[in-house]
Amino acid sequence: MSIQPNIDYIKKLSGDNSEFEQKFILILKEEFPEESQDYKNYIARKELKMAAELVHKLKHKFNILSMTDAYTYAVAYEEELLADDMSGNAIFLDFLDTVKNYLNTL
């Protein structure tokens, strides 16, 4: 199972350009906390369609961080939210915490 984030994809994408890597990481570090909080707010207000939009954005960050299983889960969870089912929230929150903790180490 691949849920432990890393920046291997970013390194590959950058072609060993450390300036590009750092800019990419900075964007992630700026966007992720806000998107994560917005997702939590939508869930708290039971605005599941809006939450699904955030899951759509966040799943791509999972992919960028090589979290393939989290990405796959998010694809399915996005559809569940659109069907007014938020039963996958706890697992999704775990993925968000994993990314948050990882980004804090960069």
Each residue of 36-93: pLDDT tens digit? Answer: 999 999 999 999 999 999 999 999 999 999 999 999 999 999 999 999 999 999 999 9
State how many domains the chain has: 1
94 part of a folded domain:
yes
**Alpha-carbon gap, residue 6 to 33, rounded angstroms:** 17
Q: Which domain holds residue 80?
A: 17-103
pTM of the predicted model as reported, rounded to 2 decimal places: 0.92
CA gap 104, 67 in Å, rounded: 17
**Sign of dihedral through CA atoms 38, 95, 61, 76?**
negative
Residue 91 lies in a domain: yes
The helix-helix angle for 18-44 and 89-103 (nearest 10°) equals 150
8 assigned to some structural domain = no
